[in-house]
Chains A and B, each alone.
Chain A
Amino acid sequence: MLGRTAASLFWMSRYVERAENMARLLEVGYRITLMPGAVEGHRDEWQSTLASAACLQTYAAKHKQIDGTMVINFLLFDEDNTSSVKFCMRAARNNGRAVRTALTRDVWESLNSTWNELAQIDPASITPDRLPSFLDWVKQKAMAFRGALLGTMLRNDPYYFSQLGNFIERADNTARILDVKYFILLPRPTDVGSELDAQQWAQVLRSVSAHRAYRWFYKDSRYKPWLVSEFLILKDEMPRSLLFTYNWINAALKDLGTLYGQRYECHGLASEIQELLKNGNMEEIFQNGLHEFLADFMHKNNALSTAIAKTYNFP
């Protein structure tokens, strides 16, 4: 397989995952603005959404003030923003188009029809009342893509590279949301344990579609920072947790190593991160600082992405 093909498969999946995550973040942001509370809080909320999406700087470079409509448009449709849903879907489709020969018809048609429909949408038509159904549509399309991929792709190298892209993006996303919400926004000592506090944690869980799962899992309706963090970092039952993503990444790398008959540095790196998560415990993580832990994780996750690209000759 061409190195460029591997890269395109990796990025195709990565961009769809990113678009889906963006839709979730916006859903949460929008929900908060509907809640009773200080109007003051709204602006903070959009700022928090931008930060969670790693788009604060790019947004600030274009817009002077934070305004709901502008933020929504920036995160959905602005193609100068490499994390906007439109940019991601175009990039995913272009990557898929470049390697059509490596995709099944179902995978390609799911990408292509999503893009064709998205390209027709006039951003002005996504008014606040239509936003939730539009975000649902984005999520459904991303999930249909993933379903087509899981259901129709041969389990060989194209599939493995697409999984690596998918889960490296998901790991980065979960870590970032947790980090931003916890470290940057939350801790004012007076807020801890307050209604606002509970809301913020609910929001973290919602951004990864885990608020219900949390209650089932912990049999406790109260959100505790400790448990929420544990759920999103160490629990491999939770499909967006860091451990879960690294189990999946390691499985893909292992299969790739078997297929090619060779293991490389990236294999070692990935299993090192997996071990770290498997053996991690929350007490230690909190003692050494959650932010430090997450920052270190994102750094390693990024390093793994680079190592994979280098090992398999991505252009």
Chain B
Amino acid sequence: MSFNEMLGPDGKVRLPYSKVESWLKQLGPSDIERALRECDARFRRQGITFAVYGDEKASERIIPFDIVPRIFAAQEWRRLSAGIEQRVRAINAFLHDLYHRQEIIRAGRIPEEVIIQNEAFVPEMVGVNPAKGIYAHIMGIDIVRVGDNDFYVLEDNCRTPSGVSYMLEDREAMMHLFPELFAGQRVAPVENYPAMLHKTLEAVAPSSTGNEPVIVVLTPGIHNSAFFEHAFLADEMGVELCEGGDLFVSDGWLYMRTTQAPKRVDVVYRRIDDDFLDPLSFRPDSSLGVPGILDVYRAGRVTLVNAPGTGVADDKSIYTFMPDIIEFYTGEKPLLNNVPTWRCSDPQELKYVDEHLAELVVKEVHGSGGYGMLVGPTSTKAQIETFRAKLRARPSNYIAQPTLALSTVPTFVDAGIAPRHVDLRPFVLSGDQVRITPGGLTRVALKEGSLVVNSSQGGGTKDTWVLED
């Protein structure tokens, strides 16, 4: 039985939800219909859309938004955020170590081949010293809940985590639709995220920068699935939204092409993967990036956010070592649990996974977005067998985890209000300090029983509240 966040195990309404529960009871069908219609129109009009790859017809969709908020008590959040901060600090220390002395390998806590053979390890980053020693300035830590005090980290997204614009727009939508809900209780605001992001980016500008660093957001362009978010963040921060062609390297510095003289750029918040960042260093066929940008970066004349090569820390093969990594760099026990994980590259563990496929969740080591994964308990026999063939052909490509009973939150579905499984992605900024927005993005699997919350697989989102004391 999954943990229901509104109604505890004893069926009594849990304290953080008390007000929302009574509000839900008095909400009539016509109120709901009006709210849902208004939401849909609002999101569409504003173009808050994302693209689904491989779906030509509906190339732009809105992510379904659910009007029942997901709520944390202040003290629950304090515990969670302490664990998140610990994890984020450890990851940045780990990345610094990997690209310098590799003490953790010398100490025998992580086998060398896991790092060296990792495709996300970027040799060009060895010896580079990013400003403030920060590599992953922006992280999204995916967390699931299975009980009152039981949280697990599913994934650490250290490359270019997305979704923060939904966190902000969901709150806007809720405050617009149901202002009365916010009147009687103190919900911690999220709206200063863009300002905090701006501060973080400023703090990591190269030392060569003048008083006001020039910051840009680098996007692959309007056809990217997260383009709305790129434009949204640039707009909220008041900085230029650039495509690769808008930037160029000259005499060892990075510039943007403007309607007047070229303008020097100090900080690039890039939403382009490492592979496409610089055709001279990485994929030569990339037209999305900026030729020569990596050299400017290595010379310390521009800051790339996140740094190249951070992906090595969120790789699913590294994930299994995360408890060791946290202990090694912080000297503390991890505050947040890892999900027990089988590495299929190990013949013993592969054997176990192969025998228990129907109970497990199996993921690609390098995959993301919920593509190419198997959720054993909800799959048909045929799906499992198809997957088994893939697993056996390339075992090192997979890891497996027990199927967690993700917590549920009441959600509006066709049949009315029903519990649906959720996860949580808090957004964490690291620059001069670590900043965590209270709450984050709650993703909800809208299909009954489904555990897959990814928007590309039909998931929706909820406004996420942290109540203040």
Contact = CB atoms under 8 A, between A and B. Distances in A.
B257 interface: yes
Interface in B205-259: 221-222, 227, 231, 234-235, 240-243, 245-246, 256-259
A164 to B, nearest CB: 12
Nearest to B263: A2
B45 A313 contact: no
B149 interface: no
A272 to B, nearest CB: 22
Contacts of B234: 101
A4 B227 contact: no
Contacts of B257: 2-4, 313, 315
B47 A112 contact: yes
Nearest to B235: A101
A98 B243 CA distance: 9
B259 A97 contact: no
Interface string B327-366: 0000000000000000000000000000000000000000
A5 B240 CA distance: 9
Given A109-B45, A112-B47, A113-B45, A3 B259 contact: yes
Q: Which of B44, B235, B259 has the most C-beta atoms of chain A within 10 angstroms of its own C-beta? A: B259
A108 interface: yes
A105 to B, nearest CB: 8
B222 A98 contact: yes
Interface in B23-47: 44-47
Interface in A134-182: 157, 161
A4 B246 contact: yes
B243 to A, nearest CB: 7
Q: Which of A6, A100, A312, A313 has the most C-beta atoms of chain B within 10 angstroms of its own C-beta? A: A100
Given A97-B47, A97-B227, A313-B258, A4 B221 contact: no
A1 B214 CA distance: 12
A108 B47 contact: yes
A306 to B, nearest CB: 16
B260 interface: yes
Q: Chain B contact residues: over half helix, strand or loop, or mixed?
A: mixed
A1 B240 CA distance: 8
A116 interface: yes
Contact of B222 (A1, A94, A112, A260): A94
Nearest to A1: B259
A9 B276 CA distance: 27
Contact of B259 (A94, A101, A112, A312): A312
A112 B45 contact: yes
A100 B235 contact: yes
Interface string A78-102: 0000000000000000100111110
A4 B246 CA distance: 7
Nearest to B241: A101
A116 B44 contact: yes
Contacts of B221: 98
B258 A1 contact: yes
Interface in A29-80: none
A125 to B, nearest CB: 18
A213 to B, nearest CB: 35
B60 to A, nearest CB: 9
Contact of A4 (B45, B47, B235, B245): B245
B229 to A, nearest CB: 11
A170 B321 CA distance: 64
A2 B240 contact: yes
A3 B246 contact: yes
Contacts of A100: 47, 231, 235, 241
A1 to B, nearest CB: 5
A212 to B, nearest CB: 35
Contacts of B241: 99-101
Contacts of A161: 259
Contact of A97 (B44, B231, B243, B245): B231
Q: Which of A2, A105, A112, A313 has the most C-beta atoms of chain B within 10 angstroms of its own C-beta? A: A2
Contacts of B240: 1-2, 5, 101
A5 B231 CA distance: 12
Given A97-B222, A98-B222, A109-B45, A6 B231 contact: no
Contacts of B242: 2, 4
Q: Which of A6, A101, A112, A157 has the most C-beta atoms of chain B within 10 angstroms of its own C-beta? A: A101
Interface in B134-164: none
A184 B241 CA distance: 47
Contacts of A3: 246, 257-259
A309 B260 CA distance: 12
Contact of A260 (B45, B47, B235, B260): B260
A311 to B, nearest CB: 8
B43 to A, nearest CB: 11
Contacts of A116: 44-45
Q: Which 10 A-B pairs have the closest CB atoms?
A: A312-B259, A101-B235, A100-B231, A3-B257, A112-B47, A6-B259, A313-B257, A2-B246, A1-B259, A98-B222
24 contacts: A1-B240, A2-B240, A2-B256, A2-B257, A3-B246, A4-B242, A4-B245, A4-B246, A4-B257, A5-B259, A94-B222, A98-B222, A100-B47, A100-B241, A101-B231, A101-B234, A101-B235, A108-B47, A112-B44, A161-B259, A262-B260, A313-B258, A315-B246, A315-B257
Interface of A: 1-6, 94, 97-101, 105, 108-109, 112-113, 116, 157, 161, 260, 262, 312-313, 315
